[in-house]
Amino acid sequence: MLGRTGLGKRKSTGKGSFDVTGIDKCNLFEAIDNPNAFLSLSNFVPAPGDPTEGNYRVMVKYGKLGEEFALSKHPFKHPLLMIQAGSVFRVQGMVRAYYGYMIEDIAPAHPEVLQYALAFSVPVRLEA
């Protein structure tokens, strides 16, 4: 259904729709020996306890509500400071599949709205 309705900023104009034509297993990232860091594949907000040592850039996301909330009197979310995709953080122990968390209380007029602020991670090995 997501492919038919689309996703992203201009989905209401027909952009962002897609078809899944096949799925292939990829083990590209399983070949990393002794990973000690992760590369973020998306913008995210670190959760308490997430790694803090790394190389990163920050951005401010000015989010808008979608669907029926976009037509309300208050269609905007609070600005949110996020770590940009492509950032690298050192980890102690195993690299997790994702980092970050879901942000609550992001839309003043709609307390039920959440902001997705998770990042899928790719294990990497940084040399000293």
- What is the H or E stretch that residue 58 is in? strand 58-61
d(CA 25, CA 39) in angstroms, rounded, equals: 20
Q: Among the listed ranges 68-77, 91-100, 108-117, which one has the minimum average pLDDT value?
A: 68-77
**Domain boundaries defined on the chain:** 32-128
Q: State the pTM of this model.
A: 0.78
Q: What is the mean pLDDT of the chain?
A: 89
Taking 80 as the threshold, does the pLDDT of residue 120 lie above it? Answer: yes
d(CA 40, CA 38) in angstroms, rounded, equals: 6
- Kindly indicate the confidence band of residue 8, based on its pLDDT and cuts at 50, 70 and 90: confident
Q: pLDDT of 13-71, one tens digit each?
A: 778 888 889 888 877 666 788 899 999 999 999 999 999 999 999 999 999 888 788 88
In this prediction, residue 28 carries a pLDDT of 63
